[in-house]
């Protein structure tokens, strides 16, 4: 039999794995049964996928707990060191840690039933008096319906693990030493893979990995609450996730309400305003939103570049609504994705898409899905990178096309497939969406203008430097895509939006690179935007969603910091670069470092003189504007005010 060739240590831990995975699965079954009404019309295949996904997360937790015991027992066994004391200690180590894990699973069920969210560090925020909570639990009879079975589970688990360890101790198997070493090393590698949860090189398993369908309950069912608790605790301890305190919350809210002309604030959502339009018939246009990797405005001829890198983008920038003074929120791709789709700024090093709680936002996908749009997102590489796939699916993106969907021979680098292949691959998918007799919104994140660079053999650049060649290729890909779209039936009913995730540091005048934030912003639709116009007013990446809704003439609730650039205006826009922030208007550029020192420049003149002392009133006004907006976002984020649940009527 096969087990004769398996060392006793491996055989012992395989049996422990089986026991704990079965117990974790039983908790998942109980949760499933308590939330059965949330399954809706989901298929059996999706239900099965949720349970299989659950085993993946259960293996992560189990591997974390059992890696050290297996390593220690293996070493003691190989060197034949007397290990009764060690064996007993590790047995209790396993029993205690798994019993704690099972307790979290038990607590997670009523927690999820109430909050519709898996157990996390936020569950402890309301426990002001632990003694009070303990008394409340033990004095409530219905809690004993959970406590008694849990105590019986602990007892049964203790007896079963004790028996397994006793069998291991009294009936050791003699297996060839080299065979034992080889299998033990292989098993350790498998356990490390189990801890990582994925074999993809760009990202380990994340909360977002569990989000595989459009049913929010099944997406969360696959999670292990110990994983979400551990992940949320680690995230909360990171310096970059600490809440900012730039200005008093209420002062910030009042200032922002004034900036946004909110005269009658909603009691629950301080940024909320209802947006209506005069038209009785909204335009059900499709939306294609292209977020261009590193496409600084400084790479375009119309902004002074002489290398002819973007002939196509330059040409169509004169064929729609083009905002020549638009700026991105942050310096990372994740900032660009988040701010473009959800109209909130970057907050230093915080990563809103990686939060274990997977917060809901009123953004492009949710708002348009509520208006009967199909929603889809395309990326060239691993969808789990930056937790993008899971976060977007939690925010009403019905489908994410990523590296796993493309033919493997088309994957050329860590960043996946080249831009033009992603666009080519998308056309049949968009055609199918258009056949559903309802509009679609498709967002694309390009990647070719980011190292490692890859140029297809069929593309012949004019420049000799790779960094210029790759910009040419990115522009070539956009041209190829729009040409392909123009041949599709849905093209005439589509609005295209072009924006960078961030720019590139092509200038080096100031402590913050303006070129790293200055981005093309174009709304393009040959059939519907026939008045070609260039706007010089200050615009932000965060303004795309409200402006787009204005073009669609769809009534909605704007619960963001963005404005409709065709109907509203802003005096300044704020930028963020991890440890500093900037504020820019049509004349001045203010930089505020983390020690609160200010620098104020006349950036259009490339003036290096710091005017902050001479123009203190201007610097203070701009600084207050940025601090208020950043703090207002922190406030609504901390208090879960970022997603208004009021339906569009």
Q: Are 541 and 326 in contact (CB under 8 A)?
A: yes
Whether the predicted pLDDT of 135 surpasses 50: no
The pLDDT confidence band at residue 528, using thresholds 50, 70 and 90, is: very high
CA–CA gap between residue 60 and residue 195 (Å, rounded) = 4
Higher pLDDT, residue 644 or 49: 49
pLDDT at 340: 98
Q: Beta 494-500 vs 521-524: how paired, if at all? A: antiparallel
Q: Are 534 and 322 in contact (CB under 8 A)?
A: yes
Q: What is the CA radius of gyration of the chain?
A: 28
Local structure of 276: helix, strand or coil:
coil
pLDDT at 113: 75
pLDDT at 1: 54
Q: Considering only 33-42, 289-298, 498-507, which range has the smallest mean pLDDT?
A: 33-42
pLDDT at 398: 96
By C-alpha distance, which of 277, 270, 290 is closest to 371?
277
Whether the predicted pLDDT of 364 surpasses 50: yes
pLDDT at 180: 80
The pLDDT confidence band at residue 136, using thresholds 50, 70 and 90, is: very low
Residues in the chain: 649
The CA-based dihedral angle spanning residues 92, 232, 638, 555, taken in that order and rounded to the nearest 10 degrees = -130
Whether the predicted pLDDT of 593 surpasses 70: yes
Reported as a single tens digit per residue, the pLDDT across 251-276 is 999 999 999 999 999 999 999 999 99
Reported as a single tens digit per residue, the pLDDT across 141-160 is 555 666 788 889 999 999 99
By C-alpha distance, which of 268, 88, 152, 299 is closest to 639?
268
Reported as a single tens digit per residue, the pLDDT across 407-465 is 999 999 988 999 999 999 999 999 999 999 899 999 999 999 988 899 999 999 999 99
The pLDDT confidence band at residue 127, using thresholds 50, 70 and 90, is: very low
Whether the predicted pLDDT of 120 surpasses 60: yes
Q: Peptide bond before 452: cis, by omega within 30 degrees of 0? A: yes
Q: Are 501 and 293 in contact (CB under 8 A)?
A: yes
Q: Are 612 and 619 in contact (CB under 8 A)?
A: yes
Reported as a single tens digit per residue, the pLDDT across 11-35 is 899 999 999 999 999 999 999 998 8
Higher pLDDT, residue 479 or 531: 479
Q: Is 417 exposed, middle or buried (0-12, 13-18, 19+ CB in 10 A)?
A: buried
Q: Considering only 124-133, 162-171, 317-326, 330-339, which range has the smallest mean pLDDT?
A: 124-133
Higher pLDDT, residue 212 or 89: 89
Reported as a single tens digit per residue, the pLDDT across 220-258 is 899 999 998 888 788 767 765 678 899 999 999 999 999
CA–CA gap between residue 444 and residue 425 (Å, rounded) = 12
pLDDT at 220: 87
Is the four-CA dihedral 311, 315, 321, 323 of positive or negative sign? Answer: positive
Whether the predicted pLDDT of 619 surpasses 60: yes
CA–CA gap between residue 317 and residue 101 (Å, rounded) = 56
CATH of domain 241-638: 3.40.720.10
By C-alpha distance, which of 197, 230, 273, 219 is closest to 389?
219
By C-alpha distance, which of 287, 333, 312, 320 is closest to 478?
312
Averaging pLDDT over each range in 39-48, 275-284, 296-305, which range is the top one? 296-305
The pLDDT confidence band at residue 3, using thresholds 50, 70 and 90, is: low
The CA-based dihedral angle spanning residues 279, 282, 287, 292, taken in that order and rounded to the nearest 10 degrees = 30
The pLDDT confidence band at residue 372, using thresholds 50, 70 and 90, is: very high
Whether the predicted pLDDT of 280 surpasses 70: no
Whether the predicted pLDDT of 310 surpasses 50: yes
Tokens of 403: 């590296």
pLDDT at 123: 63
For residue 630, give the H/E element and its range. Answer: helix 616-638
CA–CA gap between residue 18 and residue 26 (Å, rounded) = 12
Reported as a single tens digit per residue, the pLDDT across 168-211 is 876 556 667 777 888 889 999 999 999 998 877 777 888 888 88
Residue 172 pairs in a beta bridge with none
The CA-based dihedral angle spanning residues 486, 489, 494, 499, taken in that order and rounded to the nearest 10 degrees = -40
Local structure of 524: helix, strand or coil:
strand
The pLDDT confidence band at residue 129, using thresholds 50, 70 and 90, is: very low
By C-alpha distance, which of 453, 401, 442 is closest to 422?
401
pLDDT at 468: 96
Q: In the predicted model, what is the mean pLDDT of residues 356-367?
A: 88
Q: What is the mean pLDDT of the chain?
A: 89
Q: What percent of the chain has pLDDT over 70?
A: 91
Whether the predicted pLDDT of 2 surpasses 60: no
Residue 600 pairs in a beta bridge with 590
CATH 3.40.720.10 region(s) of the chain?
241-638
Tokens of 247: 């200005």
pLDDT at 126: 43
Reported as a single tens digit per residue, the pLDDT across 376-422 is 999 999 888 888 999 999 999 999 999 999 999 999 998 899 999 99
């Amino acid at each position: 039999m096969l087990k004769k060739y398996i060392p006793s240590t491996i055989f012992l831990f395989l049996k422990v794995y089986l026991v704990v995975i079965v117990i974790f699965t039983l908790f998942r079954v109980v949760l499933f049964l308590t939330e059965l009404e949330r399954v809706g019309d989901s298929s059996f295949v999706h239900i099965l996928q949720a349970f299989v996904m659950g085993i993946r997360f259960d293996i992560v937790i189990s591997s974390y707990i059992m890696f050290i015991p297996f390593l220690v027992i293996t070493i003691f066994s190989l060197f034949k060191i007397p290990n009764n004391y060690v064996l007993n200690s590790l047995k209790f180590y396993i029993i205690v840690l798994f019993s704690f894990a099972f307790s979290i699973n038990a607590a997670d069920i009523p927690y999820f039933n109430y909050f519709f969210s898996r157990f996390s560090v936020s569950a402890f925020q309301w426990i002001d008096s632990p003694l009070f909570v303990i008394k409340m639990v033990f004095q409530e009879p219905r809690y004993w319906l959970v406590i008694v079975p849990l105590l019986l589970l602990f007892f049964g688990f203790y007896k079963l693990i004790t028996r397994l360890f006793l069998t291991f101790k009294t009936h050791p198997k003699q297996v060839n030493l080299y065979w034992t070493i080889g299998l033990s090393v292989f098993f350790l590698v498998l356990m490390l893979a189990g801890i990582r949860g994925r074999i993809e090189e760009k990202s380990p398993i994340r909360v977002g990995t569990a989000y595989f369908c459009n049913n929010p309950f099944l997406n969360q069912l696959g999670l292990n609450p110990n994983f979400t608790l551990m992940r949320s605790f680690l995230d909360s301890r990171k310096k970059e996730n600490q809440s900012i305190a730039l200005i008093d919350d209420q002062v910030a809210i009042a200032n922002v309400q004034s900036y946004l002309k909110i005269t009658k604030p909603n009691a629950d959502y301080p940024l909320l305003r209802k947006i209506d339009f005069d038209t009785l018939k909204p335009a059900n246009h499709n939306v294609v939103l292209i977020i261009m990797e590193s496409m600084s405005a400084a790479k375009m001829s119309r902004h002074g570049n002489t290398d002819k890198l973007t002939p196509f983008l330059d040409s169509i920038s004169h064929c729609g609504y083009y905002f020549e003074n638009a700026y991105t929120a942050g310096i990372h791709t994740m900032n660009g994705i988040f701010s473009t789709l959800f109209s909130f700024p970057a907050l230093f090093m915080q990563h809103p898409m990686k939060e274990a709680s997977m917060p809901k936002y009123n953004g492009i996908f949710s708002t348009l899905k509520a208006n009967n749009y199909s929603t889809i997102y395309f990326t060239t590489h691993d969808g789990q990178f930056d937790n993008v796939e899971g976060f977007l699916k939690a925010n009403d993106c019905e489908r994410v096309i990523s590296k796993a969907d493309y033919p493997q021979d088309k994957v050329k680098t860590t960043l996946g497939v080249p831009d033009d292949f992603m666009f080519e691959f998308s056309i049949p998918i968009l055609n199918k969406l258009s056949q559903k007799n309802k509009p679609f919104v498709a967002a694309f994140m390009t990647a070719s203008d980011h190292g490692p660079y890859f140029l297809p053999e069929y593309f012949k650049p004019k420049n000799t430097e790779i960094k210029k060649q790759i910009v040419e290729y990115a522009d070539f890909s956009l041209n190829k895509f729009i040409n392909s779209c123009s041949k599709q039936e849905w093209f005439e009913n589509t609005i295209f939006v072009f924006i960078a995730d961030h720019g590139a540091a092509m200038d080096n005048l100031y402590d913050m690179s303006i070129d790293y934030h200055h981005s093309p912003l174009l709304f393009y639709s040959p059939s519907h935007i026939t008045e070609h116009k260039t706007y010089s007013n200050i615009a932000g990446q965060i303004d795309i969603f409200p402006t787009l809704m204005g073009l669609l003439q769809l009534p909605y609730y704007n619960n963001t910091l963005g404005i409709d650039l065709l109907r509203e205006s802003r005096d300044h826009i704020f930028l963020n670069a991890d440890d500093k922030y900037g504020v820019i208007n049509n004349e001045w550029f203010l930089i505020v470092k983390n020690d609160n020192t200010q620098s104020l420049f006349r950036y259009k003149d490339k003036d290096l003189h710091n005017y902050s002392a001479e123009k203190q009133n201007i610097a203070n006004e701009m600084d207050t504007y940025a601090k208020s907006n950043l703090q207002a976002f922190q406030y609504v984020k901390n208090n879960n005010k970022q997603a208004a649940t009021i339906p569009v009527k």
